[in-house]
Amino acid sequence: MGLKVYVDGKLVEKQDAKISVFDHGLLYGDGVFEGIRSYNGLVFKLTEHIDRLYESAHTLMLKIPLSKKQLIKAVVDTLKVNRLKDAYIRLVITRGVGDLGLDPRKCPLPSIIIITDKITLYPKKLYDEGLRIITVPTVRNLPEALNPQIKSLNYLNNIMAKIEAINSGVEEAIMLDSMGFVAECTGDNLFIVKNRELCTPPQYVGTLRGITRDAVMDLAKKSRIAVRECVLTRHEVFNAEEAFLTGTAAELIPVVNVDGRQIGTGRPGKTTLSLLQGFRRVTRTDGIKYKV
């Protein structure tokens, strides 16, 4: 039996998981999504991911045709049918089928897609040795245009920055906001450590409210590590003692070089490694359990 995908209430074989070419998620990127992880039969922070999904959809005036409870059950059922204890979950809500115009009123029924599979964003070597990243020219979307708090299907802003990173021979890139302050990376939030304090850019400069970001901040507080949101320039990043990225797929990964500048000792730092170990522990305790 192959991988099954949830599409509008039905679990279908991977090769049969299809949407219409008239779906506005495809035509215009009109929709929202979440990336979620499960660890040993525990969906990490599933309630928080669902809440963020509904917030994104509400801003887009996109009515999800299931309740939160029903959607959580659909995610768990999809994991169970695929017998996955450790998985990456992609939950997608599209505006649905319409015509070739922009008008969302022409899309009477949104579509729900749930994909459960494996993911490896970075090789183990980079978690052990750290990432080299750069700052790219593409700036993060303005909140007044397409607010980065909305996790929409339109990811071209991030993809353009990702292409610039790849063309420069690195895996990830820092994106600045329109005023030149550090916002976030193409798919992850950024943290620095300086003077025994953990700092990360605030949401108002154009960052997504990362679920993993929040989990790491909570973990730092419980570990009595000072943590705050702070406006950062590249100067502060260059002169950090440590740096790391957080995200659902990446989890927590050290950064050792930014724009050719060595960060700290050039190796993953003590605070970073401590938080990484703590994060791996908390992923086994915080979430919704299921059995396969």
Q: Give me the residues paired with residue 228 across strands.
A: 199
Give the per-residue pLDDT at 98. 98
Confidence band for 170, pLDDT divided at 50, 70 and 90? very high
In the chain, ranges of CATH 3.30.470.10 domains: 4-117
Residue 273 burial by CB count (10 A; 0-12/13-18/19+): exposed, middle or buried? middle
pTM exceeds cut of 0.85: yes
Q: Residue 112: which residues within 8 A CB-CB, separation 6 or more?
A: 6, 7, 8, 9, 64, 65, 66, 71, 74, 91, 92, 93
Angle of the 211-222 helix axis to the 46-59 helix axis, nearest 10: 130
Whether CATH 3.30.70.260 fits 4-117: no
Residue tagged active-site, from 151, 194, 221, 222:
151
Domain with CATH 3.20.10.10 in the chain: 124-282
Please tell me the predicted confidence (pLDDT) of residue 168.
98
124-282 classified as CATH 3.20.10.10: yes
Mean pLDDT of all residues in 133-147: 94
Q: Does pLDDT of 1 surpass 70? A: no
Q: Write out the two tokens for 30.
A: 């009109």
Containing 259, the helix (H) or strand (E) segment is none
Residue 151 annotated to the active site: yes
* Least confident segment among 133-137, 142-146, 170-174, 258-262: 142-146
Q: Is the pLDDT of residue 227 over 80?
A: yes
